[in-house]
Every structure is written in C-alpha cells, then in structure tokens.
C-alpha cells in the first residue's frame, strides 16, 4: 500500500475484495444510556462525535421495517416505570419509560393463517412506502462527499416473522404450516425490496445492504439449519441476488450462535457477517481461518469485556481477534453488540487507541 490514506468507501470495498488496505474499516453502535454517561464524563456532543473520533467508514441511508398499520401506537396501560403499547405491527409490548431495553412482548395480533390472509397480508401490501427517499438521497450525497461506504438498511424475513407472529406462533407454524411462514417472509421481502428500489429510483447508488434479523439464541439457531434452508433462506438469497444485480455487497446482522449456518449464509450470497456475538460462543479466531476467505467478519469484540473496563483484558481481546481477522484481509471493527453504559468514556477512548494500534496493515 502507498502512504496515501484510502477513503472509507475504498477501504470497505477492498475489504470485500480481500485487497490491500491501509487499515481495517471501522464502525460501532452504542446504547443511548452509554452516550448519556459519556457526556457526563467529557464527551462534548453525541454518538456522531464518537464515530468521528473512531474515524468510522460507514453511512446508513435509510431504514426499512415496513409497519403493517402505519402510524398506529395505542397506549393501553402505563405506570411510573413502564407503558404497554399496541404498535404499528399489531403487537402489544411493554416498554420501559426513559431507558432502553428489550420490551416485554405481551401479545401478537397475527395469531393464525386466517388472520394473516384476511387482515395482515392485504394491509402490508397496501401500506404506502415508509422510507423517506428524499432524505436517503440527501444522506447519500453527503456521504459521498465524505468518502463513506453507503448502505441501505432494514429487516429481513426471520425478524419480520418474530415481530408479526411472535416466537411461539412462528416456531410452531414452521412445523405445522410451513407454507404460511413462507408467505409471510415472501410478502415482507417484496415490500422491503420495493422500498429500497424507491430509494435507488431517486438516483442513489448505494454500495451495499446491511440487513438485520436475530435468528439465534446463545447456543444455536432458533430453528434447525434444514428448516432455515427450506423456509427463510430462499428469501435471504432473493435479497442478496437483488443487491448483487445492482452492484452491491450484503452485510448480515444476527445475534446469537450461528456457527451451524455459516455455509448457508455464504450460499445465500451474504458477503459479510456482523456483529459475531462473542458471548454466544462466536469467535473469529476459530471461524476466520475456515470461512474468512468467503465471508467477511465484522465485529466480535466482546462488550462484556469492555464492561469490565480492564484495559489489559481489552487490549488482548482486540490484538488477538484483529490478528485473526486481518489475516484474511476481510475484517472490520465493531463491538459484538451495542456498547453498554457500564463502559466508561476513558475506557472507550482507550479502545479507539487499541483499534488504531492493532488495526493497521
């Protein structure tokens, strides 16, 4: 490599191509409470300021998670700490007031194939596009000036199943009514691709997709690899084929232990896996040597270790995992989940220093 620094866009594209880079690409995410803590400890602005200090390379243009009943938000109950809401997908969930966290899912409206076909399916197909295409185009122009790698983002079919049907109905229907499951995923995929195409029709030329769907627990995927291949994988492949036909790469986000389906991800056309959750037993020191030539690795830096604020432990975590990922030239930095508020601002600044120290080629 020459001494001239690459742009973020060049750097990420070279990562996908396994070509020489000046340094690994970088990105991270943070809980809102983390930023609040850091502001008390000396951070001047917000998460955008942290990403500037990190010298992050990625820019999101839009988010697509098509609500079935756009604009619906009915507060059913509330107390001093929580509120229970019927949301735009027809589900009922209880949320904390004033702090982040996974909501308690109280109930779901789409409890049968009959309800899906009579109400949810036609409503989903008829709902107007919820992506602000003008804003996405403006973000694209701004990111291009900064030399960042631009991506469309949104939710894929497995996450949509869980949001619309709930885990219990979804997992039982995978066995008892697989055609219903395929139809839900097919309709969701159609609507998401339609929304992304509307952005492209504004003259936007994204570099990739970054799609989200948590399909695993801390020990295995929520369904068997065979069931995933039959019911959801074809629509993952549809998204990847759509992206590749338009010159884009595909980053797939999923939490949990997905070691049993890495080959299926590659066959679907996913180019990169993120965030590679360490606390679920995922370790790029194991997977990069076996899959890193075909699947870029993005993340895997353990937030549980970050939360100890032990700099020696963190330096070893970053040094060894960077070495494994960088050996393939297909690695980018990210925490293995959103950085939690247990991490001090001084610790995160030290993490940025370790990223600088060990992330250069």
Q: Which helix (H) or strand (E) holds 275?
A: strand 272-275
- Contact between 291 and 262 under an 8 Å Cβ cutoff? The reply is yes
DSSP one-letter string for 72-115: --EEEEE-SSEEEEE-TTS-EEEEESSS--PPEEEE-S--SHHH
Q: Which string of b and e fits 241-263 if b means at least 16 CB within 10 Å?
A: ebbeeeebbbbbbbbbbbbebbe
**Predicted local distance difference test score (pLDDT) of residue 38:** 98
Burial (0-12, 13-18, 19+ Cβ within 10 Å), 97: exposed
Cα–Cα distance for residue pair 25/10, rounded to 1 Å: 10
pTM above 0.75, yes or no: yes
Q: Where are the beta strands (DSSP E) in 204-270?
A: 208-212, 249-254
Spatial CA neighbour of 169 closest among 333, 360, 177, 90: 177
**Alpha helix (H) ranges present in 327-344?**
none
Cα–Cα distance for residue pair 193/173, rounded to 1 Å: 25
3-state helix, strand, coil in the chain (%, to 5): 50, 15, 35
Length of the chain: 361
> Residue ranges of the domains in the chain?
8-66+127-358
- Contact between 142 and 55 under an 8 Å Cβ cutoff? The reply is no
In DSSP terms, 33 is beta-bridged to none
Spatial CA neighbour of 86 closest among 99, 97, 71, 75: 75
| CATH for 8-66+127-358 (3.20.20.210, 3.90.550.10, 2.30.33.40, 1.10.340.70) | 3.20.20.210
**Predicted local distance difference test score (pLDDT) of residue 2:** 45
Cα–Cα distance for residue pair 37/345, rounded to 1 Å: 8
3-state secondary structure (DSSP) of residue 208: strand
Pull the structure tokens for residue 177.
């009514």
Pull the structure tokens for residue 243.
């992206």
pLDDT tens for the 361 residues of the chain, in order: 445 689 999 999 999 999 999 999 999 999 999 999 999 999 999 999 999 999 999 999 999 999 999 999 999 999 999 999 999 999 999 999 988 888 899 999 999 999 999 999 999 999 999 999 999 999 999 999 999 999 999 999 999 999 999 999 999 999 999 999 999 999 999 999 999 999 999 999 999 999 999 999 999 999 999 999 999 999 999 999 999 999 999 999 999 999 999 999 999 999 999 999 999 999 999 999 999 999 999 999 999 999 999 999 999 999 999 999 999 999 999 999 999 999 999 999 999 999 999 999 9
Instruction: Phi first, then psi: give them for residue 334, nearest 5 degrees.
Output: -165, 150
**Number of Cβ atoms within 10 Å of the Cβ of 360:** 13
Task: Kindly compute the dihedral angle of the four CA atoms of residues 338, 340, 343, 347, in this order, to the nearest 10 degrees.
Answer: 10
């Amino acid at each position: 490599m020459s001494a001239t620094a690459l742009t973020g866009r060049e750097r990420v594209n070279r990562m996908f191509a396994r070509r020489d880079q000046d340094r690994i690409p970088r990105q991270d995410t943070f809980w809102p409470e983390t930023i609040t803590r850091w502001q008390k400890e000396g951070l001047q602005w917000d998460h955008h300021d942290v990403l500037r200090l990190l010298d992050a390379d990625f820019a999101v243009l839009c988010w697509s998670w098509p609500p079935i009943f756009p604009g619906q938000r009915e507060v059913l109950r509330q107390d001093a700490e929580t509120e229970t809401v019927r949301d735009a997908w027809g589900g009922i969930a209880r949320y904390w007031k004033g702090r982040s966290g996974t909501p308690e899912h109280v109930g779901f409206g789409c409890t049968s194939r009959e309800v899906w076909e009579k109400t949810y399916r036609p409503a989903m197909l008829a709902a107007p596009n919820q992506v602000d295409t003008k804003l996405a185009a403006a973000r694209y122009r701004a990111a291009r000036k900064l030399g960042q790698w631009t991506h469309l983002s949104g939710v894929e079919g497995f996450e949509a199943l869980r949001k619309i049907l709930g885990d219990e109905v979804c997992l039982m229907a995978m066995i008892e009514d697989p055609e219903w499951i395929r139809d839900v995923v097919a309709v969701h995929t159609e609507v998401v691709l339609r929304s992304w195409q509307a952005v492209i029709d504004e003259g936007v030329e994204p570099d990739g997709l970054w799609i989200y769907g948590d399909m695993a627990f801390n020990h295995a995927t929520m369904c068997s690899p065979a069931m995933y291949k039959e019911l959801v994988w074809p629509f993952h492949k549809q998204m990847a084929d759509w992206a590749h036909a338009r010159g884009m790469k595909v980053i797939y986000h999923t939490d949990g232990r997905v070691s049993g389906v890495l080959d299926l991800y590659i066959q679907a056309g996913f180019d990169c896996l993120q965030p590679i959750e360490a606390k679920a037993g995922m370790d790029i020191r194991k997977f990069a040597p076996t899959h890193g030539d075909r699947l870029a690795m993005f993340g895997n830096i353990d937030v549980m270790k970050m939360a100890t604020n032990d700099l020696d432990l963190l330096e070893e975590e970053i040094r060894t995992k960077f070495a494994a990922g960088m050996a393939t030239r297909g690695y980018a930095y990210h925490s293995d989940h959103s950085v939690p508020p247990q991490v001090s601002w001084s610790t995160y600044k030290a993490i940025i220093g370790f990223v600088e120290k060990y992330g250069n080629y």
